[in-house]
Chain A
Amino acid sequence: MSTPRPGVKRFIGLDWDFGALRHASPAYWRWMSVLSVFFALGLAAWYLLLTQGGEVLNMRDSSPWGLWFTNYMYYVGLAAGGLIVYASVHLFGATQFAPLSRLAVLLAGVIVMLALLGIITDMERPWRAINMVLSPNPSAPFVYTGSAAGLYMVLCFADLWVLITGKGGHKLAHTMTLIALPAAIYMHTTTAFVLSMNKSRELWHTAMMVPIFLTSATASGVALLLIVAYIMQKVTDLEFKPSMFRSLATLLATVIIIDQFLLLVEVLAVFWPTSAMPGHTLRLEQFVTGRLAWAFLPVFILGMTAFALLAKRTTRHLPAVQITASALYVVAVFFKRYSLMAMGFSVDTLGQSQPVYFPSTVEVFLALGILALGMLLFSLAVKVLPMKVPEHADPHEPATELGVSA
């Protein structure tokens, strides 16, 4: 190996191009400073929470989980896109996604980290989280989803390392996929378990929650990846083929309609005369015609609009259409997560209708701070790490060099 370019530091086998930061445009630094401000506000919010206690939150006994849990489900889902794209390159030979693989895995790793940060910052005594390791309870779904998210994060960053360094060649990359894909499914399944394994919460208590989580995760994850890919194409020197975007859009449309279908049949089961039970209908009515319809109906409205946009053969190759549809579904899934969270709590276990939960300012800034941290890390990584997959590289043999000549 020759000497690296100036500004490039070698660390854990990767070339960190810190020189790129020196030459970064003012726009990049403006973007980074805005994010830093939000990150600082998030830190302040966390400090307030730790010193003042739960008083500063809007969660109460009627809604013991709030925005952090909505975001946990949301982020875990968004992180799905990365590994699915990465896995389909190596497992199903979907070589059109190969240029996206590094970006996809980095995005997945960062996002699942945000999910974990959400749990940690929600605890009033975060240092007690060590008890999850010291005395885990095998019958608690939380243990599984928490450990799955941790495992997934490590796997994503390991995959990124393998992709960039090319160590182990095609064989290792393939093996990593065989580990990573089941891990992704395990994570989404166990996250669904946190809801579905509760006989106390009528609307959560359905095994359908697992497939719904898998499809929502895939749909929102792919949609986010599509948007990020367009942004990266605009602001960095990464370039993707229109055919890749078309493949992503087709995949997205397919998953969206499955996702909508699963949710619809679940709703149908609640209201169908031969299956309707007062405990279920009373709760879901609030989300269909009642005071929480604003949170639940958009899932279908935005979702079906997104599908309609992508279904039209003549226009679905247009970037504007793809981006709009993806954005609609990313938002739709957030509404879905919020409704899912609220469905457990809008009527409590003693049948008492409870006030609608909205996050407090502290909760919002905490969530924004976590999101800003994720964006900071992602923006930084995209700048200093070689995200570009070398042009004519065989996807089965991740190239070794960028910035370094082999």
Chain B
Amino acid sequence: MAHDTRPTQDENPRPAQEPACDSSHGCASCAADEPQRTLSRRHFLKGVGVTAGLVAAGTVPAFLTAAPRAASGSESTDAAEIPGHETGIEHLTEHSGEVNYPGKPVWYADEPGDEKWAMVIDVKACVGCRKCVYACVRENNIGRESGFTYIQVLEMELGSNELELGNVDYEEGGRPDKWYLPVQCMHCAKPSCVYGCPVVATWREPDGIVVIDYDKCIACRNCMITCPYDARHFNWVEPEVPKNEVNPKVPLHEKAGVVEKCTFCVQRTRNGMSTVCTEACPVGARTFGDLNDPDSAVSHILRTRRAFRLKEELGNEPAIWYVG
């Protein structure tokens, strides 16, 4: 449906106009004709778009959710183009409520606040030491024998960001002829995992954190299929954590036989702390903060550095940026 409505938004008369005027220098009759033609063309496109939109909205209720998203997306783009616009990155926080399916409160964390959480990872600084991975495993009660970690660090080839050339199972980091790309749940604004969950057992909280209801997950693992970042992991074995290492603030046995993933350390970040991976990084490659706060470190970095997101072409709009 987003495709169908596009003609009404784009309404660009130039394609019809340009060739005619380029060929005839100062042709008065041509110039007089043009507005008439483009106007009717515009009306026509509008009619097509509206009709298509109505048809799509009427027949496919599932895609109704796409309508407000498309609209807010175009508005925010317009806002970003206004000269003297304050931050220039505000459009990134506009995608607030689209997929906030009403889920139950995360019982082991506080209520979400007004923040919009985001993270920036400096791949120039990252040495691939995996300190973040280990800290995350301890903080989040990841089963020691479960065979997965929330964070995966890819050892990448120089001169390429082709994931297929990267390697997750590298021996030790710090090689000067490689660069390192940590990947985890991106807490997307348009999370395909949330769209793909058949029972609404996962959703995006108002502060941007994508969470899972361990008591509702039916273990169909469809979210693992739909996630483009390999961020979701299934507990194939009972998660085992040594007694003295269990973090009482995070569920453990509830995670048996269901899917789990990075939560942006919801139990910490909603209590004024940073994520544990950010704190554990010895080189300060990670910055975590609030996009809604123009003075936060993440907002500052996104304003001043050249940042990119992984697989941005898929349109999931991750909340983790990379800077180099």
A-side interface residues toward B, CB under 8 Å?
53-55, 57, 59-61, 64-65, 119, 122-125, 128-129, 131-132, 134-143, 146, 194, 198-201, 278-279, 282, 344, 347-352
**B191-214: which have CB < 8 Å to A?**
192, 195-201
* A132/B168 contact (C-beta < 8 A), A57-B236, A200-B225 known: no
Query: In whole angstroms, what is the CA distance A344 to B228 when docked?
Result: 11
Q: Which 6 A-B pairs have the closest CB atoms?
A: A351-B163, A351-B164, A54-B236, A138-B62, A200-B228, A131-B199
Distance in Å: Cβ of B254 to nearest Cβ of chain A:
12
Whether B219 contacts A131 by the Cβ 8 Å rule is no
Give the chain A neighbours of B226 by CB distance below 8 A.
198, 200
Q: Nearest CB to that of A147 among chain B residues?
A: B198
Question: Which one of B216, B226, B235, B238 has the greatest number of beta carbons of chain A within 10 Å?
Answer: B226
Distance in Å: Cβ of A352 to nearest Cβ of chain B:
5
Whether A65 contacts B221 by the Cβ 8 Å rule is yes
Give the chain A neighbours of B269 by CB distance below 8 A.
none
Q: Nearest CB to that of A195 among chain B residues?
A: B225
Distance in Å: Cβ of A40 to nearest Cβ of chain B:
25
Per-residue contact bits, chain B 4-30, to A (CB 8 Å; 1 contact, 0 not): 000000000000000000000000000
Interface residues of B, CB < 8 Å — how many? 50
Whether A64 contacts B224 by the Cβ 8 Å rule is yes
Whether A54 contacts B225 by the Cβ 8 Å rule is no
Per-residue contact bits, chain B 150-174, to A (CB 8 Å; 1 contact, 0 not): 0010100000001111111000000
Per-residue contact bits, chain B 207-245, to A (CB 8 Å; 1 contact, 0 not): 000000000111111101111111001111110000000
* A128/B218 contact (C-beta < 8 A), A143-B198, A349-B230 known: yes
Question: Which one of A60, A138, A201, A279 has the greatest number of beta carbons of chain B within 10 Å?
Answer: A138
B77 at interface, CB cutoff 8 A: no
B137 at interface, CB cutoff 8 A: no
Whether A350 contacts B168 by the Cβ 8 Å rule is yes
Whether A349 contacts B218 by the Cβ 8 Å rule is no
Give the chain B neighbours of A141 by CB distance below 8 A.
196
Whether B219 contacts A53 by the Cβ 8 Å rule is no
Query: In whole angstroms, what is the CA distance A348 to B227 when docked?
Result: 11
* A350/B152 contact (C-beta < 8 A), A54-B236, A65-B221 known: yes
Give the chain B neighbours of A140 by CB distance below 8 A.
195-198, 222
Whether A128 contacts B166 by the Cβ 8 Å rule is no
- The answer, among A124, A135, A278, A344, for a CB contact under 8 Å with B199, is A135
Distance in Å: Cβ of B146 to nearest Cβ of chain A:
9
Whether B236 contacts A125 by the Cβ 8 Å rule is no
Give the chain A neighbours of B256 by CB distance below 8 A.
53
Give the chain B neighbours of A146 by CB distance below 8 A.
198
Q: Nearest CB to that of B61 among chain A residues?
A: A138
Distance in Å: Cβ of A287 to nearest Cβ of chain B:
16
Give the chain A neighbours of B63 by CB distance below 8 A.
139
Give the chain B neighbours of A131 by CB distance below 8 A.
199, 201, 216, 218
Give the chain B neighbours of A142 by CB distance below 8 A.
196, 198, 220, 222
Whether B164 contacts A282 by the Cβ 8 Å rule is yes
B65 at interface, CB cutoff 8 A: yes
Q: Nearest CB to that of A353 among chain B residues?
A: B164
B134 at interface, CB cutoff 8 A: no
Give the chain B neighbours of A344 by CB distance below 8 A.
225
B257 at interface, CB cutoff 8 A: yes
Distance in Å: Cβ of B142 to nearest Cβ of chain A:
12
Whether A137 contacts B198 by the Cβ 8 Å rule is yes
Q: Nearest CB to that of B237 among chain A residues?
A: A55
Q: What are 8 A-B contacts defined by CB distance under 8 Å?
A: A55-B236, A61-B148, A61-B230, A64-B234, A124-B258, A198-B196, A199-B192, A350-B152
* A139/B65 contact (C-beta < 8 A), A65-B225, A349-B228 known: yes
Whether A350 contacts B216 by the Cβ 8 Å rule is no
Beyond the given A55-B236, A349-B229, could you list 13 further A-B residue pairs with CB under 8 A, ordered by the A residue number? A53-B237, A65-B221, A123-B218, A128-B216, A128-B217, A132-B199, A135-B199, A136-B200, A139-B196, A142-B198, A198-B196, A282-B164, A347-B164
Give the chain B neighbours of A198 by CB distance below 8 A.
192, 196, 225-226
Give the chain B neighbours of A128 by CB distance below 8 A.
199, 216-219
Q: Nearest CB to that of B64 among chain A residues?
A: A138
**B97-120: which have CB < 8 Å to A?**
101
Query: In whole angstroms, what is the CA distance A116 to B281 when docked?
Result: 47
B314 at interface, CB cutoff 8 A: yes
Distance in Å: Cβ of B115 to nearest Cβ of chain A:
26
* A137/B200 contact (C-beta < 8 A), A198-B225, A199-B192, A278-B162 known: yes
Question: Which one of B163, B183, B201 has the greatest number of beta carbons of chain A within 10 Å?
Answer: B163
Query: In whole angstroms, what is the CA distance A137 to B217 when docked?
Result: 13
Q: Nearest CB to that of B196 among chain A residues?
A: A140
Q: Nearest CB to that of A146 among chain B residues?
A: B198
Distance in Å: Cβ of B279 to nearest Cβ of chain A:
25
Whether A351 contacts B166 by the Cβ 8 Å rule is yes
Give the chain B neighbours of A137 by CB distance below 8 A.
101, 195-200
Distance in Å: Cβ of A138 to nearest Cβ of chain B:
4
Distance in Å: Cβ of B256 to nearest Cβ of chain A:
7
Whether A123 contacts B220 by the Cβ 8 Å rule is yes
* A64/B225 contact (C-beta < 8 A), A279-B164, A350-B183, A351-B164 known: yes
Distance in Å: Cβ of B72 to nearest Cβ of chain A:
18
B147 at interface, CB cutoff 8 A: yes
Q: Nearest CB to that of B227 among chain A residues?
A: A200
Query: In whole angstroms, what is the CA distance A55 to B230 when docked?
Result: 20
Q: Nearest CB to that of A129 among chain B residues?
A: B218
Query: In whole angstroms, what is the CA distance A146 to B222 when docked?
Result: 13
Query: In whole angstroms, what is the CA distance A198 to B221 when docked?
Result: 13
Distance in Å: Cβ of A157 to nearest Cβ of chain B:
25
Query: In whole angstroms, what is the CA distance A230 to B167 when docked?
Result: 53
Query: In whole angstroms, what is the CA distance A55 to B237 when docked?
Result: 5
Give the chain A neighbours of B314 by CB distance below 8 A.
199-200
Give the chain A neighbours of B200 by CB distance below 8 A.
135-137
Give the chain B neighbours of A129 by CB distance below 8 A.
218
Query: In whole angstroms, what is the CA distance A135 to B183 when docked?
Result: 31
Per-residue contact bits, chain B 45-62, to A (CB 8 Å; 1 contact, 0 not): 000000000000000011
Query: In whole angstroms, what is the CA distance A355 to B290 when docked?
Result: 40
Give the chain B neighbours of A136 by CB distance below 8 A.
198-200
Give the chain A neighbours of B62 by CB distance below 8 A.
138-139
Whether A53 contacts B236 by the Cβ 8 Å rule is yes
